[in-house]
Chain A
Amino acid sequence: MRKFVIQIIGILSISLILLLVFDFTYTTIYENANPRTKFQYLRSLKNTKVNYVFLGSSRVENGIDPIIIEKHTHKKAVNLGYQASKLGDIFSVLQLLKTYGITSDTIFVQIDYSFQTTGHSINLPYEMTPFIRDNKVTKKYFLEYLGKNPSFYYFPFIRFCENETKIGLREIFANLIGKKTKILEKKGFSPLQGVEDQKNSHRSLPNSTIRSNLYYEKIKKYGDANNIKIVFFCAPFCRHTKNLDYVRKLKTKIPDLYDFSTVVQQDSMFVNCFHLNESGATEFTEVFAKKIFKK
């Protein structure tokens, strides 16, 4: 039995060593590779100044072209919108900007029905996963906001196993050989193509707004406390969207909200009622730039 116990201890030791080695190797590769994800891109901006930062959901990611903003302002802009981002995700990214030493003149936060939705972004968690031990904000995001088991943070390599389809060996290999993605080409803007039938769309905004949103309050307070100028805006919806009046109701909760919900009218500018296509994004960004920067 003694020999057997020694053997089991040996196997467990090898496992632990492998876990530590893999954890270190994967993390190091992700930290030092050319950015392939938006989060890597965000980290690559460490200790730089970006004049205009756009935060929000896919309605920012697919709807704001920073290159157009730069043309209008001759200043640096970046789109840090994440698919299905909620205000909690946005709050974390906002804190990370400061943590990574990324300074800015204005941070634009897109806000709409996200005011009353809970949950989290689709991409942000797994893009942030390799960097979970970067700082307190990333740790808090996983353990408190996402409610992950502490083993996800403390146990080596388990976070890569849990997300192996997204950040596993295949992605490590792509990072190693420097395989490029389109993330950097348009400064975080990811245009959509095509036009769907919007007349028969069942897309609907909520009937009413909730009383308050914890993360909206946190974002505001954080901006005030850190002297960061935060501007809230609502991106366009197609004219067939039901309950468009919701944005007016939202404005009563966020008085300084810039309402762009109806600035794009043509169906041909939308992929679906909530998302602009590339032409729509160009038109919206132009309208946005003219209104915000040329007052």
Chain B
Amino acid sequence: MFFNSLSFAVFLPVVFVLYWFVFHKTKSTQNAVLIVASYYFYSCWDWRFLFLLVFSTFLDYYTGIRIEKAKTETGRKFWFWLSISVNLGFLGIFKYYNFFADSFSDLLNGFGLQTSPLLLHVVLPVGISFYTFHGLSYVIDIYLKRIKAEYNFVDYSLFVSYFPLLVAGPIERATHLLPQVKVKRTFDFEKAKEGVYQILWGLVKKVVIADTCATYANAIFDHYTSMNSLSLILGAFYFAFQIYGDFSGYSDMALGMSKLFGIDLLRNFNYPYFSRDIAEFWRRWHISLSSWFRDYVYIPLGGSKGSKFKQVRNVFVIFLLSGFWHGANWTFIAWGFINALYFLPLLLLQRNRSNMETVSLHWDWTSVKVFFSILSTFLLTCLAWVFFRAKSIGGAFDYIARIFTNRSFLPQYLENERYSYEILLLVLLFILVEWNARAKIEPISGKYSWVKVTLCLAALLALGTYSDYKEFIYFQF
């Protein structure tokens, strides 16, 4: 059941009505409605993995209490490491086992030892990377005595399984979400209105921008050997907007629908393509994951303190982990590595904390510099996306090499029966809208909001891609 599906368009209003009109009396009944709805939502993907979700929830709930109640340090450590090992163990088996088995077999084959890996034929449970990270952050926070353990199982389950964030984030923190779950929510019109706008804008990003760009990006990436320089450049450009529209659109919908239930989720995107350097980009892209790695890996490793060697090591560790989190493929690791390389000069020059304020442009020379900073950061990002999208690292290098060697810049006819440049105007319009809204959460609220709602609905109807349905990219992670 995707957020942009017809079944979800029925599911959401039903849950809304039950939540606010039938079971609205107490916090417990509100939470009960949400937890039942969440489990139903998850079981629509594959009911068998519901057991895994419930087990993972129970494990972290129970170990959290045991860590808090442990009388000795050894006991605390035991329950802590038990939780970490089982959580990562599940993630390892379902997501990474085949990758490691395959890579190890390739390595042995490289040494002349003929082996065939023993692979598991299992489907990756949807959302496992997200809810595992929820649970991990909770247990780590208890272990580090940042928070108290949660004793109400329903409240804790809702923190892990809350349907807006269950399958593709944002990765929530107990410190942020649990306090909201612990109190009865009252209806707030302004918040709900903002939520509706955010859902609508998320839909536009997904259906109009991401899915349309996807047909072009796929037509180019899947046949890149027959594409000329112009098409290859546009392919990377379209994929950049496909993945942004797809993931940030999903996040907008998740945040928006959560607001309908009176719960705020962590912001996941903050106009990342207007970043002036790669450090700023990572403060604005998939914020909940970046901050998770920052708080639970980077800072414990020493962060930007200590010797230069340690600082560089820490940067590579979090970027490689971040890449690997996305999927069991060398292309994601390469993508993380490239981003670490981009980040390194900023770290060494101690400029990774500049550009903290919202970008603005004026008619002066400083703005010209800012404009080119944004442009160069975006181009570097696009280059890295090629690795993210390519089927192999060799394929990514080949793709990039062809951009420079082909040298033909004529419009090409693509597999989707379109010319490679045809969607440019739509993307440029989208950039303009986002630029004007960069100080806000979404571009609809404010003056003339009814006009903007009408334009969004019109765009959805007239410009949306419906015949070639595409799943949300981040569901596979």
Contact = CB atoms under 8 A, between A and B. Distances in A.
Given A4-B193, A11-B196, A165-B416, A22 B20 contact: no
8 contacts: A1-B187, A1-B189, A3-B189, A4-B193, A11-B200, A14-B450, A162-B467, A165-B215
Interface string B214-227: 01000000000000
Given A7-B193, A18-B461, A165-B215, 20 more contacts: A1-B20, A1-B189, A3-B189, A4-B189, A11-B453, A14-B450, A15-B457, A18-B454, A22-B461, A157-B461, A161-B464, A161-B467, A162-B467, A164-B464, A165-B417, A165-B465, A165-B468, A168-B462, A169-B462, A169-B463
Contacts of A1: 20, 187, 189
Given A1-B20, A165-B416, A165-B468, A22 B457 contact: no
A157 to B, nearest CB: 6
B196 A19 contact: no
A10 B417 CA distance: 38
Given A1-B20, A1-B189, A3-B189, A165 B457 contact: no
Nearest to A168: B462
Nearest to A158: B466
B263 to A, nearest CB: 16
B450 to A, nearest CB: 7
A8 interface: yes
A131 to B, nearest CB: 19
Given A163-B467, A165-B467, A19 B461 contact: yes
B196 A164 contact: no
A186 B140 CA distance: 74
Given A1-B20, A7-B193, A11-B196, A162 B461 contact: no
Interface in B400-446: 416-417
Contacts of A22: 458, 461-462
Nearest to A166: B467
A162 B6 CA distance: 13
A164 B467 contact: yes
Interface in A71-97: none
Contacts of B189: 1, 3-4
Contacts of A15: 457
A161 B461 contact: yes
Contacts of A168: 462
Interface string A101-145: 000000000000000000000000000000000000000000000
A74 to B, nearest CB: 39
Interface string B454-477: 100110011111111000000000
Nearest to A172: B462
A158 B463 CA distance: 13
9 A-B pairs with least C-beta separation = A161-B466, A3-B189, A4-B192, A169-B462, A165-B467, A1-B187, A4-B189, A15-B457, A14-B454
Interface of A: 1, 3-4, 7-8, 10-11, 14-15, 18-19, 22, 157, 161-166, 168-169
Contacts of A166: 467
Interface size class of B (residues with CB under 8 A): 20 to 34
Contacts of A3: 189
A18 B458 CA distance: 7
A14 B454 CA distance: 7
Contacts of B465: 164-165
B461 A4 contact: no
A164 B462 CA distance: 8
B200 to A, nearest CB: 8
Interface string B193-234: 100100010000000000000010000000000000000000
A162 B466 contact: yes
A160 B454 CA distance: 19
With a 10 A CB-CB cut-off, give which of A4, A11, A14 has the most chain B CB atoms: A4
A14 B459 CA distance: 13
Contacts of A161: 461, 464, 466-467
B429 to A, nearest CB: 14
A19 B460 CA distance: 11
Contact of A11 (B20, B457, B461): B457
B454 A4 contact: no
Nearest to A165: B467
Contacts of B467: 161-166
Contacts of A11: 196, 200, 453, 457
A18 B200 CA distance: 15
A163 B466 CA distance: 8
A218 to B, nearest CB: 30
B441 to A, nearest CB: 17
A10 B450 contact: yes
A94 B461 CA distance: 34
Contacts of B417: 165
A199 B105 CA distance: 43
Contacts of B192: 4
B218 to A, nearest CB: 13
Nearest to A157: B461
A8 B461 contact: no
Contact of B466 (A10, A18, A164, A169): A164
Nearest to A3: B189
Interface string B97-108: 000000000000
B457 A14 contact: yes
B469 to A, nearest CB: 11
A164 B417 CA distance: 13
Contacts of B416: 165
A164 B463 CA distance: 8
